[in-house]
Amino acid sequence: MAQNSSPSGEAGRGASWDDFVEEYTSDVERAEEEDLMLHLQELKELSEHPMNINTATVEDLLQLPFLSEAQIEQIHAYIYLHGQMQTLAELRLVPLIDDATRRRLSLFVYAQQEQMEEKKRLFSHLRHDFSTRLDIPLYYRKGQQMSSGGYRGDALYHRMRYTIGNSRHFQAGLHLEKDAGERFYDSYGGYAMLQDVGVLDRVVVGDYRIGFGEGLVMGGSTWSSKSTPPLKTQGGIRPMTGMDEVNFLRGAAVTFSLGKHVRLSAFGSYRKCDATLTKDGEVQTLLTSGYHRTEAEWEKKRNVGSTVVGGNVEWYHKGLHLGATGYWQKFDRTLNPGSQQYRAIYPKGDAFGTVGVNYGYTRYRLSLAGETAYSTAGGGWATINRASWNIGRNYILSAVQRFYAYQYYSFYSNALSENSNAQNESGVLVHLQAEPTTGLQLTAYADFFYHAWPRYRMTHSSTGQEFMLQGSYVLSSKHTLLVRYQLKRKENADLMEQHHRVKLQWTCEPSVHWRLQTTGVFHGVSGKKGFMFTQNIRYVLSKASLSLNGQLGYFHTDDYLSRIYVLQPSLYSSVSSASYYGHGMMGVLAARWQSKSGRWMLEARYGMVRYFDREEQGSGLQTIFSPWKNDLSVQLRLKI
């Protein structure tokens, strides 16, 4: 466990960033890369600018997704009763902070007496961070080989990112990105942020994301999974630090602290969005891929403008919080989603408004919270309510109720749901996280959901259930075993599909340099089945100046429906997953070198897939006329 007492970077803290990413994302079975990668990038920023646990506010600690409101309350209660922490070892004395939470916290906080901290000016101690990444496919796709109708640009992916800032008050950043097949760097953005300056809690100019309450109205600043406890509200205004081309606002946002108990936020945005237009120039579909590779995709680029204005007010006092959020949005074209039954509940028109009220109470071991909202898109209501109870140090029991009318729609919602947005769904989730004995961690949940309006490929209302049980047991200081079973029943094309997923994973750490992980995954659905075995090996040289991370896998599935998702070794501050079906093998090797000063970092990643049951892969312009697929990525990072 970490016991460092200075904010001098990552050296000496109790957990590594790679271990955190692997543990934090180990339950991701589906491709959720975009949201998850952006979430991890935001967490990496917090890791590289750790906060003093003695002076961190509730809002500061709410940014850490693995902390509950009850745990944050107890950290502050300990400091109030016993004085400032000398080292992070004192976290052992906080009743609700378990070993896993202490290990994760060591990446994001340090302990230092307040009077010993150097008082920083607004623009003092600025640090520069530049990174550039290049992805090189070692093959040709059909779209690259066509003289007309194919991709307009080369097959390379490239991005550049630059940030400048200090640990507390100021941060700014710029980024450029070119996707494979695109001709230009057509994704770009930047931001500047000030925070904790008098009554100014935070102001962001440029690209930003917003999340308030439970995410029913504005929920664009978090990532969540059913397998993690539904712990707390979302984190307000945050700069857009990632490469997402869709889920952000562009303009300005500000939050004021009006005394100790009230925060007031306002935001405004205007940006162009990609869309498919009808013959009459109306918007049929708002696109989210961000690709502009072909002439057809280029014609859909940024052809509808969106103006958004809104605000939020929050009141906190002795564990109780109340808030209200609302926004108004105007498109410069009319939205007309079409006449298909499943699209009939999509928003129509050019002006929309959504307003919601959020509420909550936290006291010692109990947390209650919820949000209720109304949208003008279809005149519908939505509500989500949750309760979490810390039964001692080692048990957290949670429940979430949700009801999203099919008439409700918010363009920026990101609340717990089975669907991709908070609409046309009602359900109840019960979640238990337990550590009944030292070394044994159990996670279980049951989710029951119902869709009143027919979804895509359905002709009637539908229902479903999802259950998961996972156990992780530390066999010894070097060996850990994980077992997970997941059952999901959900109607598709008017038929009930029943998915069974099993995961067995053994992790061995024979020394501080080596880490071995063997994983077996099974997926069965509708009489079809698939399995995959992977072996991961990681080697870290002393002082982390050089690390190697490899993965080799073999897969065999009956069809696409029984495909297997797997997380793969990735470059720094990234997450990578892929799905495999058919019969074949895959491999990934990632290498990282970092200078002793920590200023320079150079990485390379090689990925390979070989199919045994086909001579070509992919479809359409993405077709590769070979059973082999090989990719190379390189990334350079400089910190000053």
- How do residues 418-433 score in pLDDT, each as one tens digit? 887 899 999 999 999 8
Assigned token pair, 246: 């869709």
How much is the pLDDT for 3? 36
State the number of CA atoms in the 13 A half-sphere of 579 facing the CB.
Answer: 15
What region does 198 belong to: left with phi over 0, alpha with psi -120 to 50, or beta?
A: left
Does residue 24 register a pLDDT over 90? no
State the number of CA atoms in the 13 A half-sphere of 81 facing the CB.
Answer: 9
How much is the pLDDT for 111? 87
Task: Give the residue carrying structure tokens 């904790």.
Answer: 196
CA 356/CA 326 separation, integer angstroms: 6
Residue 252 or 13, more confident: 252
Confidence category of residue 232, pLDDT binned at 50, 70, 90? low
Q: Please provide the average confidence, as pLDDT, over all residues in the chain.
A: 88
Q: What is the pTM of this model?
A: 0.87
- Residues linked to residue 305 through DSSP beta bridges, in sequence order: 272
Residue range 517-536, pLDDT digits in tens: 999 999 999 889 999 999 99
How much is the pLDDT for 584? 97
Task: Give the residue carrying structure tokens 């047991």.
Answer: 473
Residue 628 or 57, more confident: 628
Does residue 62 register a pLDDT over 80? no
CA 461/CA 26 separation, integer angstroms: 33
Confidence category of residue 35, pLDDT binned at 50, 70, 90? low
Confidence category of residue 501, pLDDT binned at 50, 70, 90? very high
Q: Percentage of the chain surpassing pLDDT 90?
A: 58
Assigned token pair, 418: 């089975």
Domain residue extents for the chain: 1-116
How much is the pLDDT for 31? 43
Confidence category of residue 13, pLDDT binned at 50, 70, 90? very low
Contact between 334 and 305 under an 8 Å Cβ cutoff? The reply is no
b or e along 456-490 (b: 16 or more beta carbons within 10 Å of the residue's beta carbon)?
eebeeebebebebebebeeeeeeebebebbbebeb
CA 313/CA 308 separation, integer angstroms: 17
How far is residue 557 from each of residues 265, 390, 416, 560, 580, measured CA to CA in Å? 51, 41, 30, 8, 8
Residue 335: how many CB atoms within 10 A of its CB? Answer: 20
Does residue 479 register a pLDDT over 80? yes
**Burial class of residue 260 in the structure, from the number of CB atoms within 10 Å of its CB (0-12 exposed, 13-18 middle, 19+ buried):** exposed
Confidence category of residue 167, pLDDT binned at 50, 70, 90? low
Contact between 82 and 76 under an 8 Å Cβ cutoff? The reply is no
CA 361/CA 178 separation, integer angstroms: 46
CA 283/CA 254 separation, integer angstroms: 31
CA 639/CA 413 separation, integer angstroms: 35
Contact between 151 and 294 under an 8 Å Cβ cutoff? The reply is yes
Q: What is the mean pLDDT of residues 296-310?
A: 94
Task: Say which range, 20-24, 31-35, 244-248, 327-331, has the weakest mean pLDDT.
Answer: 31-35
C-alpha torsion 472→475→479→482, nearest 10: -20
Residue range 541-561, pLDDT digits in tens: 866 689 999 999 999 999 999
Residue range 364-423, pLDDT digits in tens: 788 899 999 999 988 999 999 999 988 877 888 999 999 999 999 999 998 888 887 899
How much is the pLDDT for 525? 94
